[in-house]
Amino acid sequence: MLSRIQQLLATVYDLHPVPDVECFVCGPELVAELVGHDEARRREVLLVLEDEEGVHVALYLDAEVLEQLREGEPRFEALQLATEGVSHYLYLAFRERNDEPVSRLELEVQAEVDKYAAGLLAGNGVGAIRERSRALRERLYSQATFLDAADTPEGERYRIAHRAAARYAARLEACFVDRGRLEELAIELRRFYRVGVREKLAITRQ
């Protein structure tokens, strides 16, 4: 299932091939060892270590999420956590390939958009996609809950990313989905993917 999500996002964004994310899945012990037990309480964590040999990554997903993925019928929350993890992995690889820096906020903004894009484009049919867009936006952005308090750096970052993606998804729906302009939607998503965090945030305010 992780490989399928990776393939979907790689197709949406026209990305160069990178190793299968399945090869980099780790357990909670590594998370606790590298960043502490507090991070291990999260259900999705991308671990990144940079040294003279390059950038090393590992993706942690909660055992229940992995079990649902293995069974082939993950619930909505598990699917979104998996998509977020794959998104982080792919976007870090994309920036690394182009020798470009990436911030945590940029990773989170892109992941929030990727959840919408992946859910939207996983099916077919213009009529169906309109209904899917509305349902996705409702579940992703209107019913979201946060692990971190709003007055913490992590909580603030997640909320900024969440609000930005919500605005952008609404704009995508109005400008492209509702009008059946799916080829232009793909062009816009790829353009957004390739700009930096400041421009991403500026685009979401338009």
pLDDT digits (tens, 9 = 90+) for 133-155: 999 999 999 988 998 999 999 99
Residue 121: pLDDT over 80: yes
Asked if 162 and 141 touch (Cβ cutoff 8 Å), the reply is yes
Check residue 39 and give its pLDDT: 74
Q: Between the CA of residue 97 and those of 68, 92, 102, what are the distances in Å?
A: 32, 9, 12
pTM, rounded to two decimals: 0.95
Identity of residue 114: D
Contact yes or no for 101/95 (Cβ under 8 A):
yes
